[in-house]
Amino acid sequence: MNDNSNTRKQRTPAEIIAETEARLERLRMKEAKQQALSNPTVAALMEQKTQVQKDIREAKKILGTGPQSADARIAKHEAWIRKIEIQREEAWDTLGVTEQRLGEIDRQIQAELAALASSKDSAAEA
Domain boundaries defined on the chain: 11-63, 67-126
**pLDDT reading at 73 higher than 90:** yes
Cα gap 29→24, rounded to integer Å: 9
Amino acid of residue 4: N
Sign of CA dihedral 7, 12, 17, 22: negative
Amino acid of residue 51: Q
Question: What mean pLDDT value characterizes the chain?
Answer: 90
Q: Is 99 exposed, middle or buried (CB count within 10 Å of its CB: 0-12, 13-18, 19+)?
A: exposed
60 phi, psi to nearest 5 deg: -65, -35
- pLDDT computed for residue 126 by the predictor: 62
Instruction: Note the pLDDT tens digit of each residue in 20-52.
Output: 999 999 999 998 888 887 888 888 998 999 999
- Classified as helix, coil or strand, 4 is coil
